[in-house]
Amino acid sequence: MLIKKSAIVAASVMLVATMVFAASGRPTYAADQVNCNAVMHELYSGKHAKEVAKDLSISTSSVYRCKRHAQAASKASTKTSLQARRGRDVTFPRAPAASSAAAASPATTR
């Protein structure tokens, strides 16, 4: 009986220790290992995604991921340059609210 309880306790401790060590480690992703600058240089030179993936020994999804990140960075830099040029946040005008349109109507202001 005592042996069964100690085996259960030991198994539980090992399980908890495994979970703690597995959760504390930072996972390594393939995106950390892909040189997106080299990928974009190859794409800008006119190669297709499959050719770039084969030349750099990476997957085509990694090529597309680098392309997405480059597009997002381009959009972010464009937005910040517009904000710097205007000196404020870039916002688009909204349509007036229905209550302010009704208040400005001459029929209601007798």
Question: Cα(92)–Cα(97) distance, rounded to whole angstroms?
Answer: 15
pLDDT tens-place string over residues 82-93: 666 665 555 555
The model's confidence at residue 43, banded by pLDDT at 50, 70 and 90, is: very high
Q: Is residue 47 scored above 90 in pLDDT?
A: yes
Q: Is residue 107 scored above 60 in pLDDT?
A: no
Query: Taking residues 31-45, what's their average pLDDT?
Result: 85
Is 41 a domain residue?
A: yes
Is 90 a domain residue?
A: no
Number of domains in the chain: 1
- CA-nearest of 43, 84, 92 to 67 is 43
- The pLDDT of residue 26 is 59
Is 88 a domain residue?
A: no
The model's confidence at residue 64, banded by pLDDT at 50, 70 and 90, is: very high
Phi, psi values for residue 70, rounded to 5°: -65, -40
Phi, psi values for residue 30, rounded to 5°: -65, -25
Is 22 a domain residue?
A: no
First to last CA, the chain: 95
Is 64 a domain residue?
A: yes
Is 11 a domain residue?
A: no
The answer to whether the beta carbons of residues 52 and 78 sit under 8 Å apart is no
Is 70 a domain residue?
A: yes
Is 84 a domain residue?
A: no
Full residue range of the structural domain in which residue 62 is found: 29-77
